[in-house]
Amino acid sequence: MTLHSHPATLPIDPVKLERLAEVAIRVGLRLERGQDLVITAPIAALPLVREITRHAYLAGAGLVTTFYSDEETTLARYRHAPDESFDRASGWLYEGMAKAYAGGAARLAISGDNPMMLAAEDPARVARANKANSIAYKPALEKISNFDINWNIVSFPNPAWARQVFPDDPEPVAVEKLANAIFAASRVDVADPVAAWEAHNAGLARRSAWLNGERFAALHFTGPGTDLTVGLADGHEWHGGASTAKNGITCNPNIPTEEVFTTPHALRVEGHVSSTKPLSHQGTLIDEISVRFEGGRIVEAKASKGEQVLNKVLDTDEGARRLGEVALVPHSSPISKSGILFFNTLFDENASCHIALGQCYSKCFLDGASLTPEQIAAQGGNASLIHIDWMIGSDKVDIDGIAADGSRTPVMRKGEWA
């Protein structure tokens, strides 16, 4: 049996934890009076769940429902379940979530799982379980990826996660360090976090407006191991920070966030690219990724660690080998400057420019809310069961915007806005 610290003994600043909960509700979700809320969280995040639930009801929530996950019970499946178990998923649960979202409920996910939880498990079983879960999750994921609802992700410093980020420190010290890093990145270590987020959102909106004004046809990334041209979808639109969902609520889906992002054209990506940070995916670390694109599709993929899992992911469906997102983040972002590798995509993607395999966001099109899936596909939007971000930016990467006439405009030089 593995013993974990009891939540009450964790060295986490209660004032900043309470501020994070307030920001999750007031900035992340902007939860409306009477609106229901569905939360998913690792059981280690119970202290944050309780604070978020309190703030949700203070904001007038109708009903808050939380679903918990647990590392030990997840591992029990891999170690004791029959082989056929790994082709099954709780479709009934995700159908219920999709029904809740269709009925107006908001969605909040608390991340913080041990990034190496499944590192020692059979990659084939991990891939099968992930695929089954992706298929079952599709009805609920579509409500999120199509931005039908206000949704948000925040994080809690689970001790198992903290031990991975700070392996040389005793667990209490590691937890405290990770907690403080989360609070700083989430802008809750200041006197007025809500005001800090308003100012930050305004800056991201200015970046998005500039890119939308340029109407680039493609972006060209160059750097060590990278010479990649990412064609942009027809009628694409850049977003960053707060965005308005189809239900009319303006929310911040990711806390933290430092990115501006849009939709690539699924058929117009050419060249090769190398990752600049490891990708922690479903408990497996995938490092030193190198892929080659032809006609928008990955035709060759390698990794120094986790290559088998990477290739299983790429075989999830036809859209898994194509891009659904491209995002720009300056190398000088606060998360990058912290020097911490979080082994958590929510944080690591905000330290670096990145691309995402799989499903695109319909909101990243002009008038995206009114477009059908067929129209989105016709404009170059990708469809897939997955959406997996991985990092390709650094202080050695340059980016040019390419106009329809072939002219070039510097967008980033050595990882910074030009």
- Quickly list DSSP for 296-346: TEEEEEE-SBSHHHHHHHHTSSGGGGSEEEEEE--TTSHHHHTT---S-HH
What pLDDT sits at residue 59?
Answer: 98
CB-based contacts of 384, cutoff 8 Å, min separation 6: 316, 317, 318, 319, 320, 322, 324, 357, 358, 359
Burial of 342 (0-12, 13-18, 19+ CB in 10 A): buried
What pLDDT sits at residue 6?
Answer: 44
Residue 350 and residue 328 in contact, taking contact as beta carbons nearer than 8 Å? no
Cα distance between residue 333 and residue 317, in whole Å:
34
Cα distance between residue 185 and residue 164, in whole Å:
18
Helices (H), 59-158: 71-80, 91-102, 123-145
Residue 22 and residue 54 in contact, taking contact as beta carbons nearer than 8 Å? no
What pLDDT sits at residue 345?
Answer: 87
Residue 238 and residue 260 in contact, taking contact as beta carbons nearer than 8 Å? yes
Buried b (16+ CB within 10 A) or exposed e, 299-321: eeeebebbbbbbebbbebbebbb
* Token duo for residue 359: 């499903």
Instruction: Note the pTM of the prediction, 2 decimals.
Output: 0.87
Torsion, Cα of 343, 347, 351, 354 (10° steps): 80
CB-based contacts of 240, cutoff 8 Å, min separation 6: 204, 205, 207, 208, 257, 259, 260, 261
Q: Which of 298, 311, 396 is nearest to 353 (CA)?
A: 396
Q: Which of 6, 414, 411, 8 is nearest to 211 (CA)?
A: 411
* Token duo for residue 70: 């647990």
User: In terms of C-beta distances under 8 Å and separation of at least 24 residues, what long-range contacts does 304-312 make, across chains too?
Assistant: 305/278, 306/123, 306/279, 306/281, 308/123, 308/124, 309/123, 309/126, 309/127, 309/281, 309/284, 310/286, 312/123, 312/124, 312/126, 312/127, 312/130, 312/131
pLDDT in tens for each of the 418 residues of the chain? 343 444 446 799 999 999 999 999 999 999 999 999 999 999 999 999 999 999 999 999 999 999 999 999 999 999 999 999 999 999 999 999 999 999 999 999 999 999 889 988 998 999 899 889 989 999 999 999 889 999 999 999 999 999 999 999 999 999 999 999 999 999 999 999 999 999 999 999 999 999 999 999 999 999 999 999 999 999 999 999 999 999 999 999 999 999 999 999 999 999 999 999 999 887 788 999 999 999 999 999 999 999 998 999 999 999 999 999 999 999 999 999 999 999 998 999 999 999 999 999 988 999 988 899 999 999 999 999 999 999 999 999 999 999 999 999 999 999 999 9
Domains and CATH numbers, the chain: 8-185 (3.40.1830.10), 207-240+258-417 (no CATH)
* Token duo for residue 149: 């609802």
pLDDT tens sequence across 151-175: 999 999 999 999 999 999 999 999 9
Specify the 3-state DSSP secondary structure of 107. strand
The reply to whether omega before 256 is within 30° of 0 (cis) is yes
What pLDDT sits at residue 3?
Answer: 37
Specify the 3-state DSSP secondary structure of 233. coil
How many residues are recorded in the chain?
Answer: 418
Buried b (16+ CB within 10 A) or exposed e, 101-133: beebbbbbbbbbbbbbbbbebebebbbbbbbbb
Specify the 3-state DSSP secondary structure of 37. strand
What pLDDT sits at residue 9?
Answer: 66
Angle at 207 between CA 281 and CA 29, to 5 degrees: 55
Residue 67 and residue 107 in contact, taking contact as beta carbons nearer than 8 Å? no
